[in-house]
Copies of this chain bind each other. A is one copy, B any other.
Amino acid sequence: MEKKLTIRDIAKLSGVSASTVSRVLDDSDRISAETKKSVLEVVNQYGYKPQAAARNLARQKTSAIGIIIPQNDMNIYSSSFFQEALHGVSNSLSQNGYDVLISSGNPTELDAIKRLISTSRIDGIILLRSVVNDASIQYLTESKFPFVLIGTCLENPDVYSVDNDNQRAAYDIAYHMYMTGKRKMAIIGGTKSSVFIQKRLEGYEKLLVEKGLPINQDYIKLENASEDYGYQSMLELLKSPSRPDSVLVMDDSICVGVMKAINESGVKIPEEIAVACFNESSFTKYSRPALTTISLNFYDLGYCAAKTLLSVLNNEPIQKGCRYVDHLLTIRESTVSN
């Protein structure tokens, strides 16, 4: 590694002062066109890049944002969630000269956040969430540190958040079922205490109401998110006198149990019962029949969250509260016979 050039070296080489070089790199309009050109030539020739630490110190901002690596207990999301979201965040931010700093939440997430903030390493933070209230959100809100939430829309309109539209997603998948002739839809898995499950239930019910279908409480199985709960609930539904003709499952892991129950009882998919579930995974792709899924676009979530955070940091006027990104309905054999 040869010696690093400083801004004063570049200044000397182009016959101007350091301040002029600095302004050229900032594309200030107080510098003449010729000066800009000649300085940029030198800058490019030597591949000069301002040193981040010096710049950050002078500007009193870090040009970095922080993210905490989620523990794997975010089981509502597919495992590629984090990686894809990160790509989105990183692409959006690097276009604007920002870095992304990550930290495992060690020992706790809140500790990690405090550490990043207190050493002035980051200007803002992006949080991945499935719950509404927790210590980190409260801390950030109180300290007025800029942050954006991914994965949960808060009631609080002062908190910026980016989420998938769970209500719309459930509605879309129910609509698809309806269009393939299904009229007796069940919904399985997850607990009503989660906000995103509530939203999905709303979407499901919205379609039923719109189409004049009855809301049958026996078809709503939302007490637990385990594979076994999926298995047991599906068995019950299959034995019931008014067996549903379609089922929406809230997660692919729960769907493993659901499929097991259906296969064991020899009921035909999708003719006798159609199956669709949330979250794409190797199971949904490789299952026989392959499963129709609603997959959430994690890249966009990250990209949009980063954009939002940038706007906040630049004090740009921006709509407060929650914004939604699109989801993707992948139709496979489990809902459409070929």
Q: Is A72 part of the contact surface with B, judged by Cβ < 8 Å?
A: yes
In the complex, the answer to whether B80 meets A72 with C-beta atoms within 8 Å is yes
A119→B79 CA distance, assembly (Å): 32
A282→B281 CA distance, assembly (Å): 8
- Interface 1/0s, chain A 90-107, versus B by CB < 8 A? 110010000111111010
Contacts of A106 in B (CB 8 A): 90-91, 94
Q: Assess A256 versus B286: contact at CB under 8 Å? Given A49-B119, A53-B53, A82-B83.
A: yes
Contacts of A56 in B (CB 8 A): 52-53, 56
- Which of A147-169 touch B at CB < 8 Å? none
Q: Is A118 part of the contact surface with B, judged by Cβ < 8 Å?
A: yes
A78→B281 CA distance, assembly (Å): 11
Distance from A53 Cβ to chain B, minimum over Cβ atoms (Å): 4
Contacts of A70 in B (CB 8 A): 83
Q: Which of B100, B104, B119 contacts A51 (CB 8 A)?
A: B119
Q: Assess A286 versus B227: contact at CB under 8 Å? Given A52-B121, A102-B90, A104-B90.
A: yes
Of residues A50, A52, A72, A100, which shows the largest number of chain B Cβ atoms within 10 Å of its Cβ? Answer: A52
Interface residues on A, range: 35 or more
Contacts of A69 in B (CB 8 A): 83, 86-87, 90
For A82, give the chain B residue with the smallest CB separation: B83
Q: Which of B49, B91, B104 contacts A118 (CB 8 A)?
A: B49
Q: Is A216 part of the contact surface with B, judged by Cβ < 8 Å?
A: no
A1→B53 CA distance, assembly (Å): 22
For A281, give the chain B residue with the smallest CB separation: B282
In the complex, the answer to whether A104 meets B99 with C-beta atoms within 8 Å is no
A281→B79 CA distance, assembly (Å): 10
A187→B169 CA distance, assembly (Å): 43
Distance from A236 Cβ to chain B, minimum over Cβ atoms (Å): 21
Q: Is A145 part of the contact surface with B, judged by Cβ < 8 Å?
A: yes
In the complex, the answer to whether B102 meets A100 with C-beta atoms within 8 Å is yes
Distance from A305 Cβ to chain B, minimum over Cβ atoms (Å): 14
Given known contacts A64-B101, A82-B83, A94-B104, what 11 new A-B pairs fall within 8 Å (CB)?
A: A47-B118, A52-B62, A52-B119, A53-B57, A79-B79, A90-B104, A99-B101, A99-B121, A256-B282, A281-B282, A283-B286
Q: Interface of A with B (CB < 8 Å)?
A: 1, 4, 47, 49-54, 56-57, 62, 64, 69-70, 72, 78-80, 82-84, 86-87, 90-91, 94, 99-104, 106, 112, 115, 118-121, 143-145, 227, 252-253, 256, 260, 281-283, 286, 288
